[in-house]
Amino acid sequence: MHCCHEHADQIFGSLPRPPGAHPYPCEVRSTVNRKRDVAEFDIDAQEEILERVAAVDVAKASAMVCMRLPHPSIARRRVTKVWEVAATTNAIMALADELAEASIERVVVESTSDYWRPFVYLLQARGLTVWLVNARDVKQVPGRPKTDKLDSVWLAKLNERGMLRPSFVPPANIRQLRDYTRLRVDLTRERSRHAQRLEKLLEDALIKLSSVVSDILGVSGREMIEALIAGERDPETLAKKARGAMKSKHTALVEALTGRFDDHHAELARILLDQIDASAPSP
């Protein structure tokens, strides 16, 4: 340190220094003793460990069930039971009784297609706590076994450690409402497809009705098509069935209705109209 002082004297000489400043830069030392803020957390107390759990890995015709229970005589040991259950109502109800008798605290069911529904609904009806878990969330957890035979065991282990989160399963009345709305959407889409097929059929018969009428299934268009099916072929007569503002398009309608619509087209058009009427959703 003395040699450092002497070297500094040679360089800086007797340069003025602010009051209280260190004599030379080489003497600067950090004297700040920072205190560490240490917080203690009881992590183990927050970890969820369930003693009695079960898991169901579902498929179309059956499911693999795993039940993990405490060992009856050895402390900190667990007993793992795995067996196959048919995806039938009676088999699932028997499974529900077995899980309830074993005092299972929570059952997890992996959501696979729609195959999970009977298991979730029937196990819930038995009074069991059932979690429907997303298969994507399960696959993202490291350590998943490569074989399907151990999937149920893997689910049960994740279940007992609280490493899964449940998906929302709506109550029965909401499920019924969803069934109605989804069916209505499906029927509406199917009706639109039938209408497109009918339009193509008319085009095949050289009937250009859609080029004049915006909706061939409207009042005017429907009457013209029904008349064609009934055997009317005269374009003038067909054009006179126009209603409202459509009457002003008489000349264009005559041109559009001039084609080669025959009995074969009439039979197919009848089938399509019946399908359209059958798939029309109730108001």
Q: Give the end of a domain, one of 160, 194, 213.
A: 160
Residue 142 shares a structural domain with residue 212: no
149 occurs within a structural domain? yes
pLDDT of 21 higher than 70: no
25 occurs within a structural domain? no
Residue 60 shares a structural domain with residue 102: yes
184 occurs within a structural domain? yes
- Chain centroid to Cα 56, Å, comes to 20
Task: Write down the pLDDT at residue 28.
Answer: 47
Identity of the residue numbered 239:
A
pTM of full prediction above 0.75: no
Residue 96 shares a structural domain with residue 187: no
End-to-end CA distance of the chain: 97
What is the SS3 assignment for 83?
Answer: strand
Residue 213 shares a structural domain with residue 274: yes
Number of domains in the chain: 2
pLDDT of 158 higher than 60: yes
Residue 76 shares a structural domain with residue 149: yes
Average pLDDT, the chain: 81
- The residue among 246, 252, 191 whose CA lies nearest residue 221 is 246
Residue 154 shares a structural domain with residue 60: yes
187-221 pLDDT, tens digit each: 888 999 999 999 999 999 999 999 998 899 999 99
Range in 29-33, 139-143, 201-205, 242-246 with the lowest mean pLDDT: 29-33
246 occurs within a structural domain? yes
Across residues 95-121, what is the average pLDDT?
Answer: 90
33 occurs within a structural domain? no
pLDDT of 40 higher than 90: no
- Chain centroid to Cα 90, Å, comes to 29
pLDDT of 226 higher than 60: yes
Taking the C-alpha atoms of residue 230 and residue 144, their distance in angstroms, rounded to an integer, is 66
Percent pLDDT > 90 in the chain is 40
Task: Write down the pLDDT at residue 138.
Answer: 66
CATH of the domain at 150: 3.30.420.10
Across residues 241-248, what is the average pLDDT?
Answer: 89
86 occurs within a structural domain? yes
CB atoms within 10 A of CB 255: 14
Task: Write down the pLDDT at residue 238.
Answer: 93
pLDDT of 27 higher than 70: no
Residue 61 shares a structural domain with residue 119: yes
21 occurs within a structural domain? no
Residue 265 shares a structural domain with residue 195: yes
Torsion, Cα 133 139 144 146, to 10 degrees, reads 120
Q: Is 119 exposed, middle or buried (0-12, 13-18, 19+ CB in 10 A)?
A: buried
Residue 66 shares a structural domain with residue 150: yes
Task: Write down the pLDDT at residue 11.
Answer: 47
Domain extent at residue 152 = 48-160
Q: Under a CB-based contact definition with an 8 Å cutoff, are residues 281 and 188 in contact? A: yes
Task: Write down the pLDDT at residue 175.
Answer: 83
